[in-house]
Amino acid sequence: MLSRRSSWGPIVLLVIGLLGCGRTDGLISVTGVVTFNGEPVEDGAISLMPIDGKGVTAGGVISSGRFHIAASPGKASVLIYGNKKELKPNPTQQDIEWGMTHNSRQFLPAEYNDQSKLRIDVSETQRHFDFDLNDQGEIPAGMTGE
């Protein structure tokens, strides 16, 4: 018969293994907030691309101004897209029947996506980033990679 102490050993090891000490794939959990002219970007997408070409490109959705993705450590170029739903000017009867009465339009300036100048440095100590974007395309302080 096993003693009480020895029967708990495997369970304790299993629990410790399941809890772990964070991610084991080398990626870092990155969170943040994206605002445009002071308002949360309600619907959008964010991508982080390693500048040195090492690691993986990471991406995720922006919902109610917030995002959470797993990214490679190091300097990254950031691409942010924001979408706004607009009523179609002349929806067809079929559009109406299928509930397709809106179009989605990307509204952020190109400096934040197609011509991105946003740069961040992801690390174990730098994993939360707030992107305060505006209609002038200005890059927030500390996010130019310089």
Residue 118: strand pairing partners = 78
Q: Which residues contact 110 (CB under 8 A, 6 or more apart)?
A: 137
Q: Say what the pTM is.
A: 0.76
Cβ atoms of residues 10 and 53 within 8 Å:
no
Written as tens digits, the pLDDT of the chain (146 aa) is 444 444 444 443 344 443 444 446 899 999 999 999 999 999 999 999 999 988 999 999 999 999 999 999 999 999 999 999 888 888 888 888 888 877 889 999 999 999 999 999 999 999 999 999 999 999 999 998 66
Which tokens in the block code for residue 81? Answer: 């897209």
Q: What's the CA angle centered on 99, arms 96 and 104, to 5 degrees?
A: 105
Backbone angles phi, psi at 97, to 5 degrees: -60, -35
